[in-house]
Amino acid sequence: MRSKIILIVLISSLAIFAQNKKEAHPNLNGISCKTCHSCDIPTKENPCIKPCPRDKMVSINQSPEEGPNVLVIDKFKSQSNIYAPVVFSHRLHAEMSGMAGGCKMCHHYNPPGQVIGCSDCHELMRKRTDVSKPDLKGAYHRQCMQCHRSWSGKVDCVSCHEPNGTNQKNKEQAITEKSSKRIHPQVITPTVLKFDTPKAGGKIVTFYHSQHIDLFGLECQSCHSNESCAKCHIKEKPASLKAKTADQKHAVCSNCHDTKSNCNMCHSSTTKEGFNHKSRTGFDNSKFHASLSCSRCHLEKTKFTGLKGDCINCHGKWTQENFDHKKTGLAFDENHSGIECAECHQEKNYSNPVCKNCHEDKSYPKNVPGKLIKKK
């Protein structure tokens, strides 16, 4: 009896946990808990979050407007008598982080579901036992100095802090007012970029920027890594940055493309067409497969050849029972609902259905064996 009760309690607690998981991470479909947590059952008290770097971690991004506008960082008020708390224009900084990684740029442990603040992980007290990560004060300053230092080279405190005793209210109001509307322009993603290169016989590289984002699913920082404010804003670039070797120029592309042996893939004497699955491979993926990510079918990373266009390659054998024909935009009438697929579809790719097996005088698409509906 006792063991039964324990079993019931255990099962119900697991059920509660499952519910909590959905509540805590509503956007997490099909992602294993073990991606971020090291134990089997993470709880609020012991989330057992894996230590950094969590490069495989799933993060979410919010728009700058969703976060707070202005934050007064006054957690150390009692500890410091030199400087007043910083009034931090959070929204403006969120706007600026657009291309450099978004929220993740500062909120580097950013679990799906919510963006968590620095103090959730970093301890308030400097004297502590866990020295694997900086304390809260260190964490704040490191985030700020990382950009501000490369931006201006200055490390003076009064850039951000007012000396203690000055009127904080005025500053807070001024910053709130200033950042209530968008200040930093939104990052514009170009559609196509044309590069003039010195390569003989292939001067032009046509780069479909939007395709790399929308079609291939790359994020800004997949290519624009380590880009701080200075990347755009410093006018005088040091000479060493301007003169790049061929390898340096190809570095961004060669992360995914073979830039050593296949020049004509990108270089051409004329403007190139963008990527089109049908014209490149012969398989038209625009009908039913447009929303899939490449890796859904091309399982091997960076290898995109060798797949056959036959449906059964991926889908197995279709029968009347396991295939919902409504998906194609055609709902059968009663007479046609029990027929084997092959009666009408004689080709392997299920295109061009025929009626002649049963009807001598009918043909598709002139006659329809049911009702045309909206594709699901």
Residues that bind other proteins (CB under 8 A): 51-53, 82, 126-129, 131-132, 134-135, 137-139, 141-142, 145, 149-150, 153, 155-157, 230, 238-241
Taking the alpha carbons at both ends of the chain, their separation in whole angstroms is 51
CB of 165 to other proteins, least distance (A): 14
Spell out the SS3 assignment of the chain: CHHHHHHHHHHHHHHHHHHHHHHHCCCCCCCCHHHCECCCCCCCCCCCECCCCCCCCCCCCCCHHHCCCCEEECCCCCCCCCECCEEECHHHHHHHHHHCCHHHHCCCCCCCCCCCCHHHCCCCCCCCCCCCCCCHHHHHHHHHHHHHHHHHCCCCHHHCCCECCCCHHHHHHHHHHHCCCCCCCCCCCCCEEEEECCCCCCCEEEEEHHHHHHCCCCCHHHHCCCCCHHHHHCCCCCHHHHCCCHHHHHHHHHCCCCCCCCHHHCEECCCCCCCCHHHHHCCCCCCCCCCCCHHHHCCCCCCCCCCCCCCHHHHCCCCCCCCCHHHHCEEECHHHCCCCHHHHCCCCCCCCCCCCCCCCCCCCCCCCCEEECCCC
Q: Which of 265, 276, 273, 280 is nearest to 199 (CA)?
A: 265
CB of 52 to other proteins, least distance (A): 6
CB of 131 to other proteins, least distance (A): 4
CB of 142 to other proteins, least distance (A): 5
Contact 70, 179 (CB under 8 A): yes
**138 or 329: whose CB is closer to other proteins?**
138
CB of 340 to other proteins, least distance (A): 58
**203 or 224: whose CB is closer to other proteins?**
224
CB of 130 to other proteins, least distance (A): 8
Those residues whose C-beta lies under 8 Å from the C-beta of residue 240, and which sit 6 or more positions away, are none
